[in-house]
Amino acid sequence: MAPDFFMDDTIVKKERAKARKLRNSQWWKRRRAEGICHYCGRKFLPAELTMDHLIPLVRGGKSEKFNLVPCCKECNSRKQQMLPWEWDVYLDRLKPKP
């Protein structure tokens, strides 16, 4: 699914720098310590979880606490640059049809 809106590279770089700072914060360490992927709900070791932007940076998202969630590498890779509603549609398509 191709994004219909891309952010300026300079803005994206600034937001990625903010995310790197947050990744070292106690807030993020506590969030990741729960060990639960935001998308699939499976349990992982905290070190196995990645930081994901619910609204991707290239789609206008920000590196703010409300937009960051821990997720497994598999979900992060599959989600790519999808918005939350696009992710939900994607998951619905994966469900077996009765």
- Domain architecture of the chain: domains with CATH: 27-94 (1.10.30.50)
Question: pLDDT, tens digit, for every residue of 1-17?
Answer: 444 555 688 889 999 99
With beta carbons less than 8 A apart as the criterion, state whether 82 and 1 touch: yes
| pLDDT single digits (tens) 47-65 | 999 999 999 999 999 999 9
* Cα dihedral sign, 42-2-60-14: positive
Rounded CA-CA distance 94/29 in Å is: 32
What is the pLDDT, as a whole number, of residue 1?
Answer: 45
pLDDT tens for each residue of 83-92: 999 999 999 9
